Structure 1
């Protein structure tokens, strides 16, 4: 598909892109590469100037029925929660989507309870939205999307503005959503987060989009340069370990500092290789 804003340049140009069910996808690219436009096209907020959006192989129509079908399947949560929250209380905000589907009161209550529990904000049910912290507002905005029971949840920079503890809590929430069957797409500039969290990466570059396993995509310097990104810490560490003979050929290196600490200590079950030299040698080689 292609898309251009009124009297502006083409932002999306004959892009061929797919979201694979069950795979956590990180959407990456420089500012102005079209990430936000693509997310709005995928969720029905924009209509392509040319091309077709397919949902389960069937073209999306932009009448009321078609958009309802799309928006009950795909939900977008924007970067700034204040652009999405508008109701007086957390419960009222989360209930908005289900109520507009014409569901029974009992079903709406069930969805509210499920969403609040999933985002760990049940205790905030009656809290006025203007009294929430930034992290709580983020979680409330996501809960409103989760209450629609989407099969695909698209998040625009969901960890922006969160402290490390808030980021870890959000990632744990996303893991639970994935375990329940929701496919999660995250737009981010944080390549370390993408490497740590995602299965696949989609890099928006001038020639289109490159999609593939996250470690493979983010290890390619040509793609990193075109996307205006930097090499993730984990990939740089793995390359250094490999250079010093500490990473067996074909093994997956550590993706986070915590994994490196466990790896150099000979820890098991981290998803990384066991070191071939003594831990102090690994620490010397990585210094």
Structure 2
């Protein structure tokens, strides 16, 4: 059922060797069918949390479950987890290693022992979804940064995970590249993939996400994105500023241009299209 918990951490703690706890007693849920933004200051544990969810790390205390079933950290259990969730790291050069785009994207499906025909079908499907089908034979070292990002994501998509976790996917992309990536992620969501994005961009989170999870020194606080990203107390704890859209909506309500409870604009374009024309017309309306 859409909205039910797909991945859950309960009482999860983790410390790197000879280091202080990064996460302690953390409870966290990733709900199926939702777009989730993960936010927090540098060093708050976002990367550690993502690696715990994808099986790259194992909690020193607590448990990870997939639809309520505890993850077994043996070969069979980790294979099951990695066919359910895939993590794409921030720097694509940390993830790409094969000579060509096709070879790189096919690596995961081949490791699942799938027939060649199915591997090819998955790769072509993933490349099409990311809009890079024409790059199949391109050497990876000749790709632009944006193309490398899309190739890394395609490699995860080819595994057909139910959940895709992205670490700062828009970092380093120009505005056009960011927009094209967001359209791609929208297509993946429409096809049934749950998407979780770690980001420092509160404006992007407000615009894109259904839910927001804020990592603070006191733990993680999660809920609907518009609600969580309007909490100035939690934003301060997480080292984040108030999103532009939230501040603008507050101003519009003060000026009587937005009814209480009505959703405000998430972008300057939405403001210009939906509210500025009304604001300009108001002085004439009273004459």
TM-score in terms of structure 1 length: 0.93
2:234 to 223, 226, 230: 223
Tell me, in whole angstroms, the C-alpha distance in 2 between the residues paired with 1:281 and 1:262: 13
Contact 1:246 1:282 in 2 (8 A): no
2:192 maps to which residue? Answer: 181
1:131 maps to which residue? Answer: 142
Whichever structure has more strand as a proportion of its residues is 2
State the shift of 1:281 in Å: 5.6
1:273 maps to which residue? Answer: none
Unaligned runs of 5+ in 2: 1-11
Q: SS at 1:51's partner residue? A: strand
Tell me, in whole angstroms, the C-alpha distance in 1 between the residues paired with 2:173 and 2:101: 19
1:10 maps to which residue? Answer: 21
The reply to whether residue 96 of structure 1 matches residue 107 of structure 2 is yes
State the shift of 1:279 in Å: 3.3
Q: SS at 1:234's partner residue? A: helix
For 1:1-287, list aligned pairs within 5 A.
1-264=12-275, 278-280=278-280
Runs of 4+ aligned residues of structure 1 deviating over 2 Å after TM superposition are: none
Contact 1:43 1:74 in 2 (8 A): yes
Contact 2:86 2:156 in 1 (8 A): yes
Tell me, in whole angstroms, the C-alpha distance in 2 between the residues paired with 1:248 and 1:265: 15
Q: SS at 1:14's partner residue? A: strand
Unaligned runs of 5+ in 1: 267-277
TM-score in terms of structure 2 length: 0.93
Tell me, in whole angstroms, the C-alpha distance in 1 between the residues paired with 2:165 and 2:46: 11
Q: SS at 1:194's partner residue? A: helix
State the shift of 1:282 in Å: 7.2
Q: Deviations over 1:8-37 (max 9, x none)?
A: 000010000000000100000000000000
State the shift of 1:225 in Å: 0.1
Q: SS at 1:16's partner residue? A: strand
Is the alpha carbon distance of 1:282 and 1:34 closer, same or farther for their aligned partners in structure 2, counting shifts above 3 Å?
farther
Tell me, in whole angstroms, the C-alpha distance in 1 between the residues paired with 2:165 and 2:176: 22
Contact 2:257 2:275 in 1 (8 A): no
Tell me, in whole angstroms, the C-alpha distance in 1 between the residues paired with 2:282 and 2:253: 11
State the shift of 1:246 in Å: 1.1
Q: SS at 1:142's partner residue? A: helix
Contact 1:264 1:282 in 2 (8 A): no
State the shift of 1:3 in Å: 0.3
Tell me, in whole angstroms, the C-alpha distance in 2 between the residues paired with 1:2 and 1:48: 6
Contact 1:24 1:198 in 2 (8 A): yes
Q: Deviations over 1:50-100 (max 9, x none)?
A: 100000100000000000000000000000000000000000000000000
Q: Deviations over 1:226-255 (max 9, x none)?
A: 000000000000011111111111101001
Q: SS at 1:76's partner residue? A: strand
Tell me, in whole angstroms, the C-alpha distance in 1 between the residues paired with 2:255 and 2:211: 28
- Count of residue pairs brought into register by the alignment: 272
